[in-house]
Amino acid sequence: MPDGKRQRIWDVDPTTSDAERAEWDVPSLAEMERRAEEVTRTEAMPPMGDAPEWLKDALLRWRAEDEKRA
């Protein structure tokens, strides 16, 4: 999911294990992060001005979370 600066994985339930993901044929969290980093390096970031409201809401939340970590 683009956030205007990089690709990131959508919010995940931290209690879901990689074993549970595998049961549903979903990549591990580490693999999803690796893929997001690869797409960030290899693909242009789409314009975010026309993003749907649900994504704009997520972008604001993610930015606030990133600022708390900094």
Residue 54, pLDDT score? 93
Per-10-residue mean pLDDT, the chain, length 70:
91 93 96 96 91 92 89
Residue 53, pLDDT score? 93
In a domain, 53, yes or no: yes
Number of folded domains that form the chain: 1
Model's pTM, two decimal places? Answer: 0.77
Residue 41, pLDDT score? 96
Per-residue tokens: 8: 């990131």
**Encoded amino acid at 19, one letter:** A
Residue range(s) defining the domain that contains residue 51: 18-69
In a domain, 11, yes or no: no
Residue 38, pLDDT score? 97
In a domain, 4, yes or no: no
Residue 49, pLDDT score? 86
**Encoded amino acid at 60, one letter:** L
